[in-house]
Amino acid sequence: MVVTRQRGWRVHTEAGGIRMGYDMEGNGTPLVLLHGFPLNRAMWRVQVAGLRDRFTVIAPDFRGFGDSEIPRNPMSMDAYAQDVLALLDALGCPRFALGGLSMGGYVAFRVMALAPHRVCALLIADSRAEPDTEEGRQRRRAAIARIENEGPAGYLEDFAGQLVGPTTRSQRPGVVQAILEIIGTPPARSLTTALSAMASRPDSRPLLGDVNVPALVIVGEEDTLTPPEAAEAMAAVLPDARLVRIPAAGHMSNLEAPEAFTRAVREFLTAEFPTAG
């Protein structure tokens, strides 16, 4: 059975009942894909289409993004992770392969911290385990001030341009437009809440050595936000990890080089779960 574009499932988290948007499509081992900031689950469309014949791909919207309810209170990476776990409980999904890109990776690490027994494989793309530097926090504070003063539009346009690498910018300018379309018009509060949660996220490096499931680390070779060195550092400490570097792609490697990205995930998961589907 292929279940398509479920929306508006009501789940209950420790923070109270919230509406969460998600897609769930396909058959086989569940694969949960967590989106980057300031996007939403729509960024995974190509991966959902390319993996659903072998995996049940579940892509949630974080609170405040896509079809999920706007946060009323401050959030943390753990709170986003609890929302994801609550959704998976509501979907009857006890164990799953877990992937996240950038902010999705930060949240994936917190899922690993909260419920390591539920994760059977880990995929971290264009992300990092270390917390923000003081300079990084200052940039977040400036972004929050800009959004509060001017509204989100100018910030989103500038930020979308930074998400892709120089090759995409010069050779595939339509990708930035596509990213802006996926981003849409998230409410200012969703953006500022997520920025402040990312600024105060914990150091996930202490978790890495204890990850006892196979891991795939993917990075765009032209990623400047979470550069290849950050990916190499994670892959070196994760006990069972392989690293895939995607040429001519920046921070949004799954959208800049969708075929290469999907192929890497497919090869990794098919090797780990040869009987899936």
For ligand MLT, the binding residues (CB under 6 A) are 36-37, 102-103, 198, 225, 251
Alpha-carbon span 122 to 149, nearest angstrom: 39
Give 246's strand partners.
220
Please state, in angstroms and as integers, the Cα–Cα distance from residue 96 to each residue in 57, 115, 167, 176, 178, following that order.
10, 11, 34, 31, 29
In the complex, what is the shortest distance from the CB of residue 151 to ligand MLT, in angstroms, rounded to a whole number?
19
Cα–chain center distance at 192: 17
In the complex, what is the shortest distance from the CB of residue 199 to ligand MLT, in angstroms, rounded to a whole number?
9
In the complex, what is the shortest distance from the CB of residue 272 to ligand MLT, in angstroms, rounded to a whole number?
25
In the complex, what is the shortest distance from the CB of residue 37 to ligand MLT, in angstroms, rounded to a whole number?
3
Residue closer to ligand MLT by CB (options 4, 138) is 138
Residue closer to ligand MLT by CB (options 162, 212) is 162
The residue written with tokens 């990890």 in the block is 241
CB 26 within 8 A of CB 51: yes
Residue closer to ligand MLT by CB (options 18, 225) is 225
Give 243's strand partners.
217
Give 19's strand partners.
10
Residue ranges of E strands in the chain:
9-13, 16-20, 22-26, 29-34, 55-60, 96-101, 119-125, 215-220, 241-246
Nearest to 60 by CA among 116, 13, 28: 13
CB 83 within 8 A of CB 18: yes
Residue closer to ligand MLT by CB (options 58, 101) is 101
Residue closer to ligand MLT by CB (options 30, 104) is 104
Residue closer to ligand MLT by CB (options 165, 214) is 165
In the complex, what is the shortest distance from the CB of residue 153 to ligand MLT, in angstroms, rounded to a whole number?
18
In the complex, what is the shortest distance from the CB of residue 94 to ligand MLT, in angstroms, rounded to a whole number?
27
CB 65 within 8 A of CB 92: no
Residue closer to ligand MLT by CB (options 241, 252) is 252
In the complex, what is the shortest distance from the CB of residue 197 to ligand MLT, in angstroms, rounded to a whole number?
10
